[in-house]
């Protein structure tokens, strides 16, 4: 999985984001503009993609209102 795949999945859900990869398994997903994440919708997209948070739970960690971190599972 790469940044483009993640960005496309969020776009399909109507969420405009910028995705930055931090190899080998971590991605930062930031909402464009000053719009905060719809946390439920963003988590649902991450779960649909099979992404996890830092502790391995489905979904992602919200660092700030407009930024979440997700990881590829081990």
* pLDDT tens-place string over residues 18-58: 999 999 999 999 999 777 888 999 999 999 999 999 999 99
Cα–Cα distance list, 57 to 10, 27, 63, 74 (Å) = 19, 15, 16, 12
Q: Where are the domains of the chain?
A: 3-71
**Average of per-residue pLDDT across 48-72:** 94
Tell me the three state secondary structure of residue 4: helix
> What is residue 59's predicted lDDT score, i.e. its pLDDT?
94
What's the whole-model pTM score?
A: 0.90
């Amino acid at each position: 999985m790469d940044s483009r795949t993640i960005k496309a999945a969020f776009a399909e859900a109507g969420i405009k984001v910028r995705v930055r990869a931090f190899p080998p398994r971590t991605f930062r997903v930031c909402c464009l503009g000053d719009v905060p994440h719809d946390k439920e919708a963003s988590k649902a997209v991450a779960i649909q993609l099979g992404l996890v948070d830092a502790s391995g739970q489905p979904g992602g960690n919200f660092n700030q209102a407009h930024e979440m971190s997700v990881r590829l599972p081990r």
